[in-house]
């Protein structure tokens, strides 16, 4: 049986040799699920920097995904006009 917790900031996590969270995102109109893995022991003693980085990233998640889409699109336009 796997360990599961609900962290105040990180949300629902499952332990599998690291804490795992599934995140849904849409990239180029296709919805995908990715796994975010947070390195910590079974005791879920996360470092403050891990929590801060997670929070900072996901506060800007949509903007980051859109910028990635533009960067990939521009790259392929340049390489394969």
pLDDT computed for residue 1 by the predictor? 60
pLDDT computed for residue 17 by the predictor? 86
Collapsing DSSP to helix, strand or coil, 62 comes out as helix
User: Which of 52, 13, 17, 56 lies closest to 36, judged by CA?
Assistant: 13
pLDDT computed for residue 16 by the predictor? 87
What total number of domains does the chain contain? 1
User: Which of 60, 56, 80, 59 lies closest to 68, judged by CA?
Assistant: 60
Both tokens of 22, joined, read 């599934």
Q: Which domain holds residue 29?
A: 4-79
d(CA 77, CA 24): 27
Please say if the pLDDT value at position 81 is more than 80: no
Average pLDDT on 24-48 reads: 93
């Amino acid at each position: 049986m796997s360990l599961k917790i609900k962290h105040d900031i990180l949300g629902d996590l499952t332990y599998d040799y690291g804490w795992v969270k599934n995140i849904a995102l849409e990239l180029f109109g296709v919805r995908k699920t990715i796994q975010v893995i947070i390195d910590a022991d079974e005791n879920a003693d996360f470092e403050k920097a891990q929590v801060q980085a997670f929070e900072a990233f996901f506060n800007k998640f949509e903007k980051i995904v859109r910028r990635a889409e533009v960067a990939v699109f521009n790259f392929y336009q340049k390489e394969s006009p």
